[in-house]
Amino acid sequence: MRRLENIYRLGVKELFSLRRDTVLLALIVWAFSFAVYTAATGMSHELKNGAIAIVDEDRSQLSARFREAFLPPYFKEPKLISFREIDPGMDSGRYTFVLVIPHGFQADVLAGRRPALQVNIDATAMMQAGIGDGYITNILAQEINTFLGTPTTAYPVELKARYAFNPNITSAWFTSVTEIINNVTMLAIVLTGAALIREREHGTIEHLLVMPLTPIEIMVAKVWANGLVILFASGLSLWLVVETLLQVPIAGSKALFLAGTGLYLFFATALGIFLATIARSMPQFGLLFMMVFLPMNLLSGGETPIESQPALLQAIMQAVPSTHFVSFAQAILYRGAGIDIVWPQFALVTVIGSLFFAFAAARFRRSIAVMRS
């Protein structure tokens, strides 16, 4: 009971210290409010307002149909330009797509000669380039088939696609929740690491060392206090920003997601303390944070699917709890999975996180012993 009381009181001290740190408070508010909103509304995975120009050397009825087929919100109104304006327009970034319709195109189509159309694409806008290529191909094929009066499809069967979990393929549904998942890891590492370095820089760690406290009590207090703040902030962000402001439906149980997040925070907060025992100042901690967080975030499955990575990386990332955290978080929040589906990920996060927590605690104990000596 004495140890539990020490852990509780030290944790309360951490909360009061965090309350006085306006920079970290601002970071928490930003990460779970404005950052989530801007990620959902500012980073679109759909084609929107694509800048397109048309070089119409045919001036036929069919080429006019092409010009009228590119409609908002997918494309801006097409600009008619000459052939010599293609390179200057694309070099300056005014046009992402330039469609070239050669002279005699309609006559060749009617004669069955299968003439060629050229589409110039600015591939530096990678997302728009890839999606826009498919959009333009489908639009042109549909307009040609309509003009000729031929069926729009020659398939012997009718194919109907059904998009599960995101019927309108709205990118905000994905990016808003992913941003919360990423920010849980980021803030768990930053808050606990900054808390330990702040103790060292302000000299308060020496005060703790002369008290009847064990290193594990100091570490656990920092973990529960900062973890509680992150749990509260992420739950509030899901409710206020994602569900209320962005109108994104959450398919599964938020309580189950927060329970899994609590398990994951044992690893993430321990990682922050581990990095803080290596770093001697906040700038060093910041460099270590970028070296660890960025690869872990990119390879955990939130940004790119695990299956698309090399086999060696897939095997390595299976030993990192963030991979399983992203997996069960997406399963719960996107697909409405229950504990009967995500319990293997919960178990892996608990086991691997506990092992790393013990390792970080041993490292923290050694660093405390060095300071005492």
Tell me the two tokens of residue 346: 């919960």
Tokens at 126, concatenated: 């990678």
- The SS3 of residue 263 is helix
- Tell me, what's the pLDDT at 79? 92
Intra-chain end-to-end CA distance of the chain, in Å: 29
Q: How far apart are CA 232 and CA 105, in angstroms?
A: 63
Cα(304)–Cα(293) distance, integer angstroms:
15
Q: Bridge-partner residues for 67, per DSSP?
A: none
**Other C-beta atoms within 10 Å of 120: how many?**
16
Q: Residue 19 is which amino acid?
A: R
Residue 290 CA to residue 367 CA, distance in Å, equals: 22
pLDDT of 42: 73
CA dist., res. 32 & res. 186, Å (int): 11
Q: Tens digit of pLDDT for each residue in 346-371?
A: 999 999 999 999 999 888 888 776 66
Orientation of helix 254-278 relative to helix 339-372, angle to 10°: 20
168-204 pLDDT, tens digit each: 667 778 888 889 999 999 999 999 998 888 888 777 7
pLDDT tier at 311, thresholds 50, 70, 90: confident
Q: Is 91's pLDDT higher than 90?
A: no
| CA 153/CA 95 separation, integer angstroms | 31
pLDDT of residue 147: 87
**Neighbour-count burial for 158-194, b at 16+ CB within 10 Å, e otherwise:** eeeeeeeeeeeebbbbbbbbbbbbbbbbbbbbbbbbb
Per cent of the chain over pLDDT 70 is 91
* pTM given for the model: 0.78
The stretch 283-290 carries a mean pLDDT of: 92
CATH 3.40.1710.10 domain position(s) in the chain = 52-148
Task: Report the pLDDT value the prediction gives residue 348, as an integer from 0 to 100.
Answer: 94
Q: Which two tokens stand for residue 286?
A: 């910041």
Q: How many CA atoms lie within 13 A of 289 on its CB side?
A: 22
- For the domain with range 52-148, which CATH number is right: 3.40.1710.10, 2.30.40.10, 1.10.10.10, 3.10.105.10? 3.40.1710.10
pLDDT at 288: 93
